[in-house]
Amino acid sequence: MNPVRTEKQLRHIAIIGNPNAGKTTLFNALTGLRQKVGNYPGVTVEKKEGRIVFDDGHEAILLDLPGTYSLTANSPDEKVAVDVLLGRSKYTAVPELVICVVDASNLERNLYLISQIIDNRIPTVIALNMFDVAERDGLTIDTGKLSEELGVKVIPTIGSKGVGIKELKRAIAEPSAPSLKSRQWKLPQPVQEECDELKGMLQKIHHLAEPLAFHEAIVLLTSSSALAEHNDHFAPELIDHVKKDHLHLERLGIDRNSVFVESRYEWIKRVCASSVVSKRRSVSSTSDKIDRILTHKVWGFVIFLGLMVLMFQAIFSWANAPMLLIGDAISWVDSQIILIMPPGDLRDLIVNGAIAGVGAVVTFLPQILFLFLFIGFLEDTGYMARAAFIMDRLMSKVGLHGKSFIPILSSFACAIPGIMATRTIENRKDRLVTMLVSPLVSCSARLPVYALMIAAFIPPHHVLGIFSLPGLTLVAMYLLGLVAALTMAWFFKKTLLKSETPAFIMELPPYKMPSLKSVILHMWERSKLFLERAGTIILGVSIVLWFLATYPKVDHGSPAERLDLSFAGRAGHLIEPVIRPLGFDWKIGIGLIGSVLQREVFVSTMGTIYNIKDAKDENGGASLQDHMRHDVDPRTGLPTFTTLTAICLMVYYVLAMQCMSTVAVMRRETNGWKWPMFQVGYMTLLAYSVTFVVYRAGLFLMALHS
Amino acid sequence: MARTTLNKLLPGEHGTIEKVDATASAIKQRLLEMGLTRGTNIEMIRFAPMGDPVEVSVRGYRLSLRRIEAESVIVLREP
């Protein structure tokens, strides 16, 4: 019934808006779950696309452009948006229609971006979002009047409640024309003349389309640095002309930076005066009351730290029940396969290689879900911006920006989105420093390693009645990562990448009720990535490790001796002299080798190693933790793992760079191998030396006690 | 009305922006684009727990910026 159209024939629609205007919620409401996340070629700005299905069944592609305040292109994110809208992007077609999401309660500043977008003469529909918040703040907006002033359709929406989505869909289903009105904002006479002249030259010499020529003319007239940057793009006569223009405007006493911005805001003032009835101009008072506590001198910190502790302790205890369930389910699958299949190498491969390896990692899915749930809620409520506000002083102490705090905080989930989140940092050196230290923050892939080691070797004592020792140990590991990241950032800012502390200019959006749908969708997207990794790389590594730990086959001796003689055992022995000073034996060596690709592989490696060892007692229900606890080094007669070994191992995992995906992302982000290689080098060195110190200090303390 | 800089305002005090005088062109551009243009009313709301950055209310929304950046915004303090 539906008309079949290929990808190329579908209409391309783009959605754009200020950060915090509710763009993501509207995007989700318009596309449902028909989304895919990718990257713009060449730059690592996340490209999110979805499909809108209209009432009559036909479809369109909706492209989610990065949230931005203006099209001046200060950051790579903004550059992508500008390039798409101006048709400069080689890979993305110019959208046939742009949906601009506008925060109705913050109309003036949001209209700044709108004024730049309608300058480009692309058909536009405005979604006047958060209409309810504006009304609550005492703003009445005459949408008809606003639409008339801007020359484009204006649809009031409340994205969080799904209000206005139908109307918005109907508006974008109809063919739209660009705003018929000529540019409404007026420049002072001499500036207007220079601007028109330059636009004409750009059209004539460089054959630019009118909107692009106008945009470039403004950029060139505004800043001298833009002129220097684009020196090679433009004809010498044009550059000479611009230089003369700069001098001319300076002689007239015109501030080139402010004249364009001020002219746009003049126009915005006129638009608002005619279409907005304002009874009371104040930001939602509830938000203010909350902020009085959450950014309070004392309570602000107490609550911030409390939230962090709550997050990590909750991950540890709440996720326990579902983890046990998954563990049981895996055992059940194992037992079914053992029933069905005859004994032999193939069954061994499936049960002890594939299922043991992947299963050990999948068990940690509940913890990862909880982590993303927390981060999603913090982001969606608006608390994340307050965290940056509270932490900026500390970040500026190490020479970074409060904005660096968000990539670093995101790295608690995974360094990859963390590194990608550095795109919002405009200064190249600051961005590089943030990228270099982000992987030191404990990501979710380390959680399985910590969880395993803590569950096996940290006694579940209580401290001060409410805190459990395992919970505190976990907090300590996360803190160690954070402290290491900040220290290294300070060090890099002082030495290798010396530069000024960057500016901090950030909006503090009003608090809002989080949208459960957005949070869950985000959680699902990230968890899917984790599962895909578990399903592909880890499956492969598990099978290879099973092979290495099983062959060459020896028919005599105890299971431990057989492992000792296998390929894996030999490799472990080979690196043992290097890791002995850290208190690690050859079995941990196998784990370290395996997890060079992905940290969580350590857990599956241990699973594989210990399952193989106990291949004989298939009915033995003891967990991996028990096996590790009771494992004895045959040569020394001492346990392989002690609490000290467990702590050293965790410290090593906190600091070492064992993630191929992060290396790959670093290579793409920095456009070369230099920085990722440097990163691997410095992190390995750091991990090795700190673990060495911890191990020696631990041994010393133990000697003192006995 | 006394001419001063934004960082000198105390929480609750209002001012009218006269100009943004940042030496770095990118910072100046960003502050202007965020709506800190001549003649705009601005209110100091609060200081962050460690005294820096500060939170201001401008054009009906809340913006945070560091004291050093606030110092480049010249305002006329309202009595």
| Cβ neighbour number for residue A664 with a 10 Å cutoff | 12
Q: What is the pLDDT of residue A483?
A: 92
Task: Count chain A–chain B contacts defined by CB atoms under 8 A.
Answer: 131
Burial class (CB in 10 A: 0-12, 13-18, 19+), A290: middle
For residue B40, pLDDT beyond 90: yes
Inter-chain CB proximity A296 and B24 less than 8 Å = no
- Per-residue pLDDT at A143: 92
Q: What's residue A137's pLDDT? A: 81
Block residue for tokens 């959208």: A95
The question of ipTM being above 0.85 is answered as: yes
> Rg for chain A (alpha carbons), in Å?
29
* pLDDT tens, position by position, A156-188: 999 888 899 999 999 998 877 776 667 778 899
Range 63-82 of A in CB contact (< 8 A) with B? 69-70, 72, 74
User: Which tokens belong to A323?
Assistant: 């983890």
Note the pLDDT of residue A207: 87
* Average pLDDT over every residue of A396-417: 78
Whether the predicted pLDDT of A527 surpasses 60: yes
pLDDT tens sequence across A450-496: 888 888 888 887 777 677 888 888 889 989 999 999 999 999 988 88
Integer angstrom CA distances of residue A445 from A5, A442, A494, B60: 41, 8, 30, 42
Which residue type, as a one-letter code, is found at position A700?
A: F
Q: Are A212 and A84 in contact (CB under 8 A)?
A: no
Q: What are phi and psi of A346, to 5 degrees?
A: -65, -45
Mean pLDDT of chain A: 82
Structure confidence at residue A534 (pLDDT): 63
Residues in chain A with CB shorter than 8 Å from the CB of B31 are 505
Q: Which of A283, A508, A510 sits opposite B64 (nearest CB)?
A: A508
Q: How much is the pTM?
A: 0.79
Q: What is the pLDDT of residue A3?
A: 46
> d(Cα A87, Cα A187) in Å, to the nearest integer?
25
Average pLDDT for A322-336: 87
- pLDDT, residue A349, reads 84
CA distance A72 to A74: 6
Query: What proportion of chain A, given as a percentage, has pLDDT over 70?
Result: 86
Residue A649 above 70 pLDDT? yes
Predicted pLDDT at A2: 45
pLDDT of residue A168: 93
Select the more confidently predicted residue: A36 or A595. A595
User: How would DSSP label each residue in A545-579?
Assistant: HHHHHH-S---SS-HHHHHHHSHHHHHHHHHHHHH
Residue with tokens 């962050």: B48
Q: Percent of chain A scored above 90 by pLDDT? A: 20
Residue with tokens 């967990």: A623
Whether A504 contacts chain B with CB within 8 A:
yes
Q: Angle, to 10 degrees, between the axis of helix A428-437 and the axis of helix A402-410?
A: 30
Pairwise CA distance, residues A651 & A547, whole Å: 29
- Say if residues A66 and A57 touch (Cβ distance below 8 Å): no
Structure tokens at A691: 């673990």
pLDDT of residue A620: 42
A402 vs B contacts (CB less than 8 Å):
53, 64
A621 or B14: which leads in pLDDT: B14
Provide the pLDDT for residue A621. Answer: 44
Nearest Cβ partner for B61 among A258, A503, A507 = A507
